[in-house]
Amino acid sequence: MATQTPREAPAQAGRRLDLSAPWWSSPRWQEEKRRIRGELAALEARITPRRRLRAVIRTLARHGLLRLMQDRRAAAPSAGDASHGRHPHRDPDRRLRQIGRRLRLAFQELGPAFIKLGQVLVTRQELLPDPITAELAQLLDRVPPMPFPYLAVVLDEELPDGLQTFAWIDPEPIGSASLAQVYRAQLRDGRRCAVKVIRPLVDKLFQTDIANIARLARRLQRLLPPAVAASSDLPGLIRDYYSSVQSELDMRIEARNTREGRELVEEFGTLAVPEVYLATRRVLVTEYVDGWNIKDFPVDFFTFEERFERMIDLAHLYIKEFLNGRYHADPHGSNLIVWRHSKKVYVIDWGMVGRMDALHTEAIFRHLLHIRLNQAEDAAEVMLDVFEPTPYTDVGRLKDQLRSLYIRYVDTEQAGPHNWGHLLVEEIRIAMDNHCRIPTGLSLWAKGWSAAEGTARWLCPEISYHTVVESADVQILRRLLARRFNYRANAAWIAEASELVATLPRRLNKILERAAWNDFKLPVEGRLSEQATRNLNRMVNRATLGLISGSFFLGSALLAALGGGALDRIPGLAAVTTTALWGSLGVGVYTVWRVLRSNKA
């Protein structure tokens, strides 16, 4: 190893780099570091908003995404297609999967910001069709790794003792994500560890790309129809995306989240969270868990009772997190490791932590309780406290759709199509269709809940997640009642009531004063229904078309009748006049026919 350069080391899969070897403290390694730093500095200098924008456009064009509208038309089957089997090119799911694949490949090529954007879009299942999100889901754990020497430079710069912190490190990453890579290593004191390292240039790339994405989101927001723009906040979505990624770019925040997670699992005997050994801004060193992914453990490793016990503990942990309003936002199977020595389930990767305010969390759990008791009307009323109706929302229609949805979810089965993970996504889709604003973080909350339910399905398919959540009713009610009767909550209520009592006379006096001076104004906004708007647009278009065709017809007729000399002197004028005359006559006849056909004469 003393003569092996780090450039060669990553190709040696499964081999450990002995960091105590003389090479890593030799002048050759220092020269290699200077070369890598110079290469990274040159790359960083070329990262500018204009260059990145041109690169984005070229990449999207190369993957055919600029023809996305054409793909959308091709995805819609014609009315005469009785079967997609005869016309596979018209299969909408197949076309959507192709679009999703193009998006995934383009995002992978464009780098961390776009890969992370694709991962965020996976959590917003109400915005994209399922075939597209299924393709984008591959971005969660299938990101090509970066060569180890570039990460070794980061380790050498960030850690107090540099690479000498470790006795050895495996150059083959055990995990590769959009922002960081994870390596297996051993500390000098003999403890095995997992080393998570932020990729070089990620911060600069992210800041540059997010500026372009935010500018594009603002322009798209202005182009949206008024009803869609009222319920969609694309700039707000980008701001949430920016803030979430900013926290993931600082390993000290993930270290704090991991320590808080260790405190959460202390009451559960079958669960654990890795210990944090060391954390800097770009490097996190934690305890290494030797075991299997929860989807891959041997069939005979757990008894049924042990699987059921771990399922109960995981479900109660998630419920406890959700009630706290601060939860592990990505509890899928890849982030749950079964330790082969103690059979404990370790919850890892606390980089993405979601947040939900107390009022919305309480409302969601209350509506789940109403659904289980077959109280669809009450559940719909509760969800109106979560979704924010806009002036374009038909509240009656929204409640009817929610009630119809809840009836199908009274008795849920985790293996069936009607389980709670699907319920939350369906609710968000219904709210979007009815032009409601969705609270920040609700989609991530729904994704976390759905992932928790999927984990339960893998761990113990014999027991319904519905039944497991019912076993936590006492915990849920105790937390909700404690929050409702908490003295701080009551103190806040008293402060609000006192503010109302103190300001009410002054506000009433202002209203009466304006009424006395005849200065009382009541703004009234008149809106047409979508059907009325379409009819009005159609009428205006026909009137405009008739006016234009009449003008052309009149002008052509006058020119033909009075401009005989000009017609002879100017070549081609006679043909133009004849064409305009008959063309305007045809357009006029077509307009009259459409008016008569629609009974709007």
What are the residue ranges of helices labelled H in 140-289? Answer: 148-158, 202-223, 226-231, 234-248, 251-264
Residues near 399 by beta carbon (within 8 Å), at least 6 away in sequence: 380, 381, 384
Given a contact cutoff of 8 angstroms between Cβ atoms, the answer to whether 337 and 325 are in contact is: no
Averaged over 283-290, what is the pLDDT? 94
Given a contact cutoff of 8 angstroms between Cβ atoms, the answer to whether 167 and 20 are in contact is: yes
The answer on pLDDT for 289 being more than 60 is yes
Find the angle CA(522)-CA(524)-CA(528) to the nearest 5 degrees: 175
- Residue range(s) defining the domain that contains residue 564: 532-597
pLDDT band at 275 (very low <50, low <70, confident <90, very high): very high
303-350: pLDDT as tens digits: 888 888 888 888 888 888 888 878 887 776 778 889 988 889 999 888
Averaged over 67-85, what is the pLDDT? 45
The total number of structural domains that make up the chain = 1
> In this predicted structure, what is the pLDDT of residue 194?
94
Residues near 533 by beta carbon (within 8 Å), at least 6 away in sequence: none
From CA 44, how far away is CA 42, in angstroms rounded? 5
Count the Cβ atoms, other than its own, within 10 Å of residue 536.
11
Count the Cβ atoms, other than its own, within 10 Å of residue 192.
12
- Would you give the DSSP letter of residue 471? T
Beta strands 345-347 and 271-272: pairing type?
parallel
- Would you give the DSSP letter of residue 296? T
From CA 175, how far away is CA 330, in angstroms rounded? 15
> In this predicted structure, what is the pLDDT of residue 1?
34
Cα 416 to the center of its chain, rounded Å: 25
The answer on pLDDT for 12 being more than 50 is no
From CA 149, how far away is CA 421, in angstroms rounded? 42
> In this predicted structure, what is the pLDDT of residue 481?
66
> In this predicted structure, what is the pLDDT of residue 69?
47
Averaged over 220-243, what is the pLDDT? 77
Task: Look up residue 242 and give its two tokens.
Answer: 């920016």
The answer on pLDDT for 24 being more than 50 is yes
Averaged over 80-87, what is the pLDDT? 43
Q: Which residue has the tokens 């040696």?
A: 12
Lowest-pLDDT choice from 24-28, 393-397, 418-422, 517-521: 418-422
| Three state DSSP letters for 381-401 | HHHCCCCEECCCCCHHHHHHH
pLDDT band at 142 (very low <50, low <70, confident <90, very high): low
481-500: pLDDT as tens digits: 666 666 666 676 777 788 88
From CA 406, how far away is CA 155, in angstroms rounded? 52
The answer on pLDDT for 392 being more than 70 is yes
> In this predicted structure, what is the pLDDT of residue 184?
93
Helix H or strand E encompassing 284: strand 283-287
From CA 457, how far away is CA 432, in angstroms rounded? 29
Instruction: Decide if 561 is inside a domain.
Output: yes
Nearest to 355 by CA among 318, 317, 321, 314: 321
> In this predicted structure, what is the pLDDT of residue 400?
92
Instruction: Decide if 357 is inside a domain.
Output: no
3-state secondary structure (DSSP) of residue 274: coil
The answer on pLDDT for 366 being more than 90 is no
> Quick check: pTM over 0.95?
no
- Would you give the DSSP letter of residue 574? H
Averaged over 355-364, what is the pLDDT? 81
- Please give the share of the chain, as a percent, with pLDDT higher than 70: 80
Burial class (CB in 10 A: 0-12, 13-18, 19+), 84: middle
- Please give the share of the chain, as a percent, with pLDDT higher than 90: 11
> In this predicted structure, what is the pLDDT of residue 2?
34
The answer on pLDDT for 379 being more than 80 is yes
> In this predicted structure, what is the pLDDT of residue 82?
40
185-221: pLDDT as tens digits: 999 999 999 999 999 988 888 888 888 888 888 888 8
413-429: pLDDT as tens digits: 554 555 676 788 788 88
The answer on pLDDT for 280 being more than 90 is yes
3-state secondary structure (DSSP) of residue 437: strand
The answer on pLDDT for 569 being more than 80 is no
Burial class (CB in 10 A: 0-12, 13-18, 19+), 458: middle
Residue 231 phi/psi, 5-degree rounding, is -100, -15
> In this predicted structure, what is the pLDDT of residue 198?
93
Instruction: Decide if 526 is inside a domain.
Output: no
427-479: pLDDT as tens digits: 888 988 888 888 877 777 777 777 777 777 778 877 776 677 777 766 677 66
pLDDT band at 48 (very low <50, low <70, confident <90, very high): confident
- Would you give the DSSP letter of residue 182? E
pLDDT band at 272 (very low <50, low <70, confident <90, very high): very high
Instruction: Decide if 375 is inside a domain.
Output: no
> In this predicted structure, what is the pLDDT of residue 394?
87
pLDDT band at 81 (very low <50, low <70, confident <90, very high): very low
Lowest-pLDDT choice from 33-47, 94-108, 283-297, 479-493: 479-493
Given a contact cutoff of 8 angstroms between Cβ atoms, the answer to whether 275 and 266 are in contact is: no
Any idea how long the chain is? 601
Averaged over 63-92, what is the pLDDT? 51
Residues near 444 by beta carbon (within 8 Å), at least 6 away in sequence: 123, 329, 354
Instruction: Decide if 589 is inside a domain.
Output: yes
The answer on pLDDT for 8 being more than 50 is no
Helix H or strand E encompassing 193: strand 192-198
3-state secondary structure (DSSP) of residue 579: helix
- Read off the amino acid at residue 54: R
Task: Look up residue 171 and give its two tokens.
Answer: 């150059």
Averaged over 133-145, what is the pLDDT? 75
Q: What is the mean pLDDT of the chain?
A: 78
Nearest to 163 by CA among 150, 152, 149: 152
pLDDT band at 155 (very low <50, low <70, confident <90, very high): very high
Given a contact cutoff of 8 angstroms between Cβ atoms, the answer to whether 431 and 398 are in contact is: yes
pLDDT band at 127 (very low <50, low <70, confident <90, very high): low
